[in-house]
Amino acid sequence: MNRVLTSMVTFAIGLLIWGNEASAFCGFYVGKADTKLFNKASEVAIARHDNKTVITMANDFKGDVKEFAMVVPVPTVLERDQIHVGDAAVLKHLADYSAPRLVEYFDPNPCQMIYPESRAMDMMAKAAEPPGRQERDKALGVMVEAQYTVGEYDILILSAKESHGLETWLSESGYQIPLGASTVLRSYLKQNMKFFVAKVNLVEQAKLGFTHLRPLQIAFESPKFMLPIRLGTVNADGAQELFIYVLTKQGRVETTNYRTIRLPEAQEIPLYVKEKFGDFYRDLFTQQVKRESQRGVFLEYAWDMNWCDPCAANPLSTEELRTLGVFWQDSPSLTQRRGLMPQAQNVFLTRLHVRYDAAHFPEDLMFQETSDRNNFQARYILRHAWTGTDDCPAATTYRQQLRERYEREAQTLANLTGWNIGEIRKAMNLASLPKGEDMKWYQRLWTN
């Protein structure tokens, strides 16, 4: 039996989904970058307030479910009621709502505008055991603190006296322990952490009829505001992607032991990127990771759950947020009695994206909630040129400046993604455009 120990779950490359076009105040929303663009990616949603934490771990495990196993260090022994199986659709909604987005603007007719270059909009951007098992557990120093079957999962909460016993126990129970995990297990044990171990119960899964693994949720109370990533780096082949969605009451969340960096946003990029926004975003992210010497945690979205602008997906409903662990809102019935729409209140979403490996992320991710409620979104702009035939001095100037603008967009794209500038210019067909920049300043002065 070859079970694979996965502390985080792998993703397959998905296709970029072009969302439903919707007009919005901050430009026209044209698309988003899906989390499935990234290899070996996992998604975790954390809802936290007053030391009470609910963690949702998304499983999009593509292999044989018999081989699925998950080991997560947890700060406390969890009761049956503290474990829940969530709905993958809600997490998908959360990912879509906060995805990096592409918007487009259309230049107006310069002959009818006083300030053709004015872009005021941009300002807004911002189970049962065999006999004798218990004796063996005791000999190894491993305590099965609790065991439950929740949905399609068999769950064990383990504590142990020492890591070797735990390692042996896991191996004997059919888990393949990667080399080097023992050191990490020992460190967690000494810090009084327990282990949450989940496997798929095939009988239950067949009964329930689900073909995919639903996200596992745990709720606990602990002052520790962190995400254990160290086990995930032990057997990892290369860097892993992690998307963290944090739902809080007060404001933006950031890492305290790694630099949290805002991704470049509100940049104007060439129009042809519309067809390959997924590639663009993936390469942009890789470039930023390189620039930060692979040590940064990147902020992709920080927004009050009440609204969005432009919306890549509608904000989550009160009910959806409750399933993700947001417990501090008024109950829906109370809101309805007041005659209000059931809308999210006091929920601030922070979306962080990190590419991590053991060399650059030696420690688990530690977080803090700040009082910062400023909105932020990774938003990229396509600006369509005005193609009218009107003739006026403003139109002439506009046409002459277009090439410069395209060149600027090409430079921005090359800088953001590391793509070859020559190829970008070729894709934009820049050579065929009139060479506006070759004109002397005085030639431009008196053009008519």
> What does the binding site for other proteins look like in residue numbers (CB under 8 A)?
183, 186-187, 190-191, 222-226, 250, 254-262, 292-293, 295, 297, 362-363, 366, 368, 370-374
Burial of 101 (0-12, 13-18, 19+ CB in 10 A): buried
175 or 258, CB closer to other proteins? 258
Task: Give the nearest distance from C-beta 224 to other proteins in angstroms.
Answer: 5
176 or 187, CB closer to other proteins? 187
What sign does the CA torsion over 246, 247, 252, 256 have? negative
212 or 373, CB closer to other proteins? 373
Task: Give the nearest distance from C-beta 365 to other proteins in angstroms.
Answer: 10
Pairwise CA distance, residues 104 & 29, whole Å: 7
84 or 252, CB closer to other proteins? 252
Task: Give the nearest distance from C-beta 43 to other proteins in angstroms.
Answer: 22
Task: Give the nearest distance from C-beta 226 to other proteins in angstroms.
Answer: 8
133 or 190, CB closer to other proteins? 190
Task: Give the nearest distance from C-beta 178 to other proteins in angstroms.
Answer: 16
11 or 220, CB closer to other proteins? 220
Task: Give the nearest distance from C-beta 362 to other proteins in angstroms.
Answer: 4
Comparing C-alpha atoms, which of 156, 150, 10, 175 is closest to residue 85?
Answer: 150
297 or 428, CB closer to other proteins? 297
| Identity of the residue numbered 349 | L
Contact call for residues 34 and 43 (beta carbons, < 8 A) = no
Task: Give the nearest distance from C-beta 280 to other proteins in angstroms.
Answer: 22
Task: Give the nearest distance from C-beta 316 to other proteins in angstroms.
Answer: 25
Pairwise CA distance, residues 163 & 364, whole Å: 18
212 or 262, CB closer to other proteins? 262
362 or 434, CB closer to other proteins? 362
Comparing C-alpha atoms, which of 41, 4, 1 is closest to residue 282?
Answer: 41
Task: Give the nearest distance from C-beta 199 to other proteins in angstroms.
Answer: 28
39 or 294, CB closer to other proteins? 294
Contact call for residues 60 and 138 (beta carbons, < 8 A) = no
Per the document, the length of the chain is 448
Task: Give the nearest distance from C-beta 232 to other proteins in angstroms.
Answer: 16
Task: Give the nearest distance from C-beta 253 to other proteins in angstroms.
Answer: 11
Half-sphere exposure of 82 (CA within 13 A, CB side): 19
259 or 276, CB closer to other proteins? 259
Contact call for residues 315 and 94 (beta carbons, < 8 A) = no
Pairwise CA distance, residues 148 & 84, whole Å: 11
